[in-house]
Amino acid sequence: MYRAGAHRGISTIAARAARFCRDRRGVAAIEFAFIVPVLLIMYFITMEASQAIETSKKVSRIGSMVADLVTQQTSVTKADLDAIMKIGTSTLQPYNRSSPTIIITGIQITDEAAPRVLVAWSRKLVGSTNSADAAKGSITTVPATLNIRNTFLVRVESDLAYKPIITWSADNSKALGLTSAFNSISMGETYYLRPRRGPVVPCSDC
């Protein structure tokens, strides 16, 4: 009787094990649990990449738009330049995880055998603060193809430290622990344009 009972017990366990192996209930839930994290990662990467590309385009658009507005003027003031830079920052909306830096520089190339490239005036916007940038009369540089005697250029530099959404929070906290690897992505563009309505664009109070 003992052997028969032990045999029946083993048979019962074997039968239950066989039924368990044949049971396909819950397989879909297990597969879903494995797939969901991968799908979420792919979704966030795709979303972040598309947002970063669009923001990079907007940063480039800031430079071209600001340069275009300045070169259409016959003369400017500090208030004019500050207002134009403020308009430029609005092109970034609805992105608002960091603020751009915009620098506008009027450049005079002297009429000399060895022309010097001098700063005529310069203004910058960092976050929400406007101030002067390079000193008037200081030496600067331009691409060799634009270094033409007795000409004037307007240079606009736009830069943004793009913060990926996976590392950003409204109070700048680092709860996700990813900021060390994905703190920010540097985006920037520089444009040079010539005045549209005269040989130079002077700034009366810069």
Report the predicted TM-score, pTM, of the whole model to 2 decimal places.
0.74
> CA 8 to CA 116: how far, in whole Å?
102
How distant, in Å, are the alpha carbons of 15, 45, 50, 57, 196 from that of 53?
59, 12, 5, 6, 31
What are phi and psi for residue 162, nearest 5 degrees? -70, 125
Best-predicted range by mean pLDDT among 91-95, 180-184, 187-191? 187-191
Model pLDDT for residues 19-53, shown as the tens digit of each residue? 666 666 666 777 778 888 888 888 888 888 888 89
Model pLDDT for residues 153-185, shown as the tens digit of each residue? 999 999 998 888 766 655 555 544 444 455 778
Q: Where are the domains of the chain?
A: 2-193
